[in-house]
Amino acid sequence: MSEQVNECNSKSNQILFDIIIKEIDKENGFISFDRFMELALYHSKLGYYTKKNKRVGKDGDFITSVSIGKCYGTILARYFESIIEDRFYKEKQIVIVEFGAENGDLALDIMAELKNILNEGLFKKIKYMVVEPFDSKRKELELRLHSNGVENYSVVPDLRKEKNLNGFVMGNEVLDAMPFRRVRMKNGKWVELGVGFKRSEGKIFLIEAERNVQCELLSEYVSKISNVAPEGFTNEVNVGLKGFLKNIYLSFSNLSGLFVDYGNNHDELMVSNRLDGTVRGYSGHKYIKNLLKSPGSHDITANVDFDYFQEIAEECGFDIGEPVDQYRFLTNAAKEWLFEIENSEIERTEKEKVINQFKMLIHPTTMGTSFKVLEFKK
């Protein structure tokens, strides 16, 4: 990753740039890459995900399964219905916890479909819970859910106060955007890659910086792959994943969970010519190579290591299956719904619209095979 000059796209990005420089200076010239991501993506007022900018959709920076249309939420509701009937129908309350809810579209789509397909008594047991750490976004989500007729909901900063829950946890493209560390095999040993800066000709540059691996969780990770990692191999490691999953585990008595994301198994990640790993950025549907330029103006993401997720989930106590292609998962969950659509009396144009949404979600050239579903339960 090359040096970047302080060329910022807006005043807010310049302010964030200055905050990052000050922190690097305070920390003796180095901050970890996950700390850089925390500031660039999640600074309470200036981060990419906290500013009021259009991120998702055709006129945003990237497209998600949710932004394609209501089809995705409708199918997930059918999936939840089948598990409710199998596991949770006797519970007094059934929660659906969503991480990364963005503007609440998925919540509205799921709750609308559940209201249509569940009997009234069972639907009244459903409580939709959005986890949103930022106060301003919590207020926006509360207003959106309330104004669209969702009655039983809550928007909470985290799950630490929640205990003995029964129901579901889900996140669509959440894992890939969680802050991660970066490591590289260099001259036969591991180094951690972070962010530093330098001054040159009156300008300040953010630069890639190195240090010995110091974080205990990071050390544990690299010790497991030291014998197989080729020279120059670079990888991303979500050292916060264990704490994240453990909090979920402790909050639930009975749980059915799923995360949907793009990624690879460990063998697929171990490629010697990936000198920069899988980390990348997106803005205006374009690939951003210069991740250190204009922090706060673009997304930062990396492929999820599915084997690592499975390992950590099992350590936390979850039962977890193998990753499944989104194509296979949605096709299986949508069987009854597709039959109903085919035999419904809705207008042909509307029927075609829904079917086209479904095709985009499952087609191998769009999202069908690049996205995987990770199911786990307690």
Task: Give the model confidence (pLDDT) of 75-92 as tens digits.
Answer: 999 999 999 999 999 999
On average, the pLDDT of the chain sits at: 90
Task: Give the model confidence (pLDDT) of 314-354 as tens digits.
Answer: 999 999 999 999 999 999 999 999 888 888 878 888 888 88
Beta bridge partners of 32: 194
Residue 28 confidence (pLDDT)? 94
Flag whether pLDDT at 196 surpasses 80.
Answer: yes
Sorted by where each starts, the structural domains of the chain and their CATH numbers stand as 4-57+177-319 (3.40.50.12710)
- Judged by DSSP in three states, 209 sits in strand
Q: How far apart are CA 240 and CA 41, in angstroms?
A: 16
Flag whether pLDDT at 5 surpasses 60.
Answer: no
Q: Of 9, 5, 100, give the one whose Cα is nearest residue 283.
A: 9
Q: How far apart are CA 170 and CA 376, in angstroms?
A: 10
Mean pLDDT of 342-367: 87
- Residue labelled with tokens 């479904």: 358
Task: Give the model confidence (pLDDT) of 28-54 as tens digits.
Answer: 999 999 999 999 999 988 999 988 776
- Judged by DSSP in three states, 193 sits in strand
Residue 2 confidence (pLDDT)? 42
Q: How far apart are CA 359 and CA 349, in angstroms?
A: 15
Are 65 and 172 spatial neighbours (Cβ–Cβ below 8 Å)? yes
Residue 4 confidence (pLDDT)? 46
Task: Give the model confidence (pLDDT) of 122-142 as tens digits.
Answer: 999 999 999 999 988 999 999
Alpha helices by DSSP H, listed for the chain, are 11-26, 33-42, 65-68, 71-83, 105-117, 120-123, 135-147, 216-225, 241-251, 266-269, 306-316, 326-333, 335-342, 348-362
Token pair in block for residue 342? 């085919």
Residue 365 confidence (pLDDT)? 85
- Judged by DSSP in three states, 124 sits in coil
- Position 8 confidence tier, pLDDT thresholds 50, 70, 90: low
Residue 372 confidence (pLDDT)? 96
> How large a percentage of the chain has pLDDT more than 70?
96
Residue 237 confidence (pLDDT)? 95
- Long-range interactions of 83-91: CB distance < 8 A, separation 24+: 83/168, 83/256, 84/118, 84/122, 87/254, 87/256, 88/166, 88/167, 88/254, 89/122, 91/125, 91/166, 91/167, 91/254
Mean pLDDT of 140-162: 94
Flag whether pLDDT at 3 surpasses 50.
Answer: no
- Position 9 confidence tier, pLDDT thresholds 50, 70, 90: low
Residue 282 confidence (pLDDT)? 87
Task: Give the model confidence (pLDDT) of 271-282 as tens digits.
Answer: 766 777 899 998
